Amino acid sequence: MSELVTGDAVVLGLRPARLPSRALALAIDMAVVWTAYLSVSVGLGIATASLDEAAVMAISVASFLLVLVGAPIAVETLTHGRSLGKMACGLRVVRDDGGPIRFRHALVRGAVGGVEILMTFGVVACIASLVSERGRRLGDVFAGTLVVRERVAAGRVGAVPPPPPWLVGRFAGLDLSGVPDGLWLAIRQYLTRMGQLDPQVGAAMAERLAGDLAARTGAPAPREVPAAAYLAAVVNERQGRDVRRGFGGAGAFGAGVASGAGAAGDAGVIGGGAAPPAAAPGAAPPAPGAGAAPSGAAPPAPGAGAAPSGAAPGQGGVRAGAGAEAGGSSSRTGFAPPA
């Protein structure tokens, strides 16, 4: 991730903010900061009315530095590059490689901004932003930062292309817990915009991202797999894990449905009678019509298979079934069962 060059990072997803939007954000920030500074100055002037002139001057300088210079530095550090004006205009300060800024970046920006914005009323900052190809002022140049647009139209964001079918599920055993969100974002941005890149630049970017991803996962990337296909397969694996984690009850629901279906099948078997016995492993299937009565045979005498008058309901059917089974057995084997 640290090897990403500025130009590639900008092509991938960093949209530099231009002068009008930056000027509007700066105007909002200056209005808030100057309002706070005037309020603090009035309060300090009332509180220090009894002090001598030197003490009042020292307090005034300290309040100027703390409110007009220190407050923007603290806000950008705590919000990772988003002041009130930048939030309103959809802007953010990031590093040249696309990462979030830290205190040292905000300190350099604030210190240089005190000269090019406060002391020259923003004239130097406007000239530097107009001259710079990416709209950077002197504070951005010295701090190694860039102001980018965060609000992008939804239609311009492409979907991550799926991996080749022969790579789906191949990286199911990778440990993805050590991959930072910034690297995932860079990989997704590359995959959604790799068709817009120069082939050589895109191949070099894919190799860098694949190397960073392999270093985070602890498993080297397969040499026979192209870098772009490897990235797409790993991103697909991560998305699959997120889906399974988000819908973790789906497996239990499916198991419940299967058990319910099995219970319903068992109930049907129990209610409809015993299941037919399984055939012996080596036994040949019976010939068609082996147990059936001949076509010319006389029908059974009336009442022959009826149950006795004192028998319980259903016994006649059971005995009739037993007799038919015995007849079929004797016709198949040639041995009559004992009476």
Backbone angles phi, psi at 3, to 5 degrees: -85, 0
pLDDT at 124: 92
Query: Which is more confidently placed, 216 or 292?
Result: 216
pLDDT at 112: 93
pLDDT at 11 over 50: no
Mean pLDDT of 31-53: 89
Alpha carbon 199 to chain centroid, angstroms: 28
pLDDT at 131 over 60: yes
Mean pLDDT of the chain: 73
SS3 for 211-241 is HHHHHHHCCCCCCCCCHHHHHHHHHHHHHHH
pLDDT at 278: 43
Report how far residue 35's alpha carbon sits from residue 249's, in angstroms, rounded to the nearest whole number: 54
CB 39, CB 250: distance < 8 Å? no
Query: Which residues touch 313 (CB under 8 Å, ≥6 apart)?
Result: 307
pTM for this prediction: 0.45
Instruction: Return the percentage of the chain with pLDDT > 70, whole number.
Output: 66
**Pair of tokens at residue 7:** 């130009």
Give the range among 45-59, 65-79, 159-173, 242-256 with minimum mean pLDDT.
242-256
Q: pLDDT grade, residue 14 (50/70/90)? A: low
pLDDT at 316 over 90: no
Mean pLDDT of 258-282: 39
pLDDT at 290 over 70: no
For 193-249, the pLDDT digits (tens) are: 887 778 888 888 889 998 998 888 888 888 888 888 888 889 888 888 888 887 764
Taking CA atoms, 150 is separated from 9, 153, 154, 193, in Å, by: 14, 10, 12, 17
Q: pLDDT grade, residue 158 (50/70/90)? A: low
pLDDT at 325 over 50: no
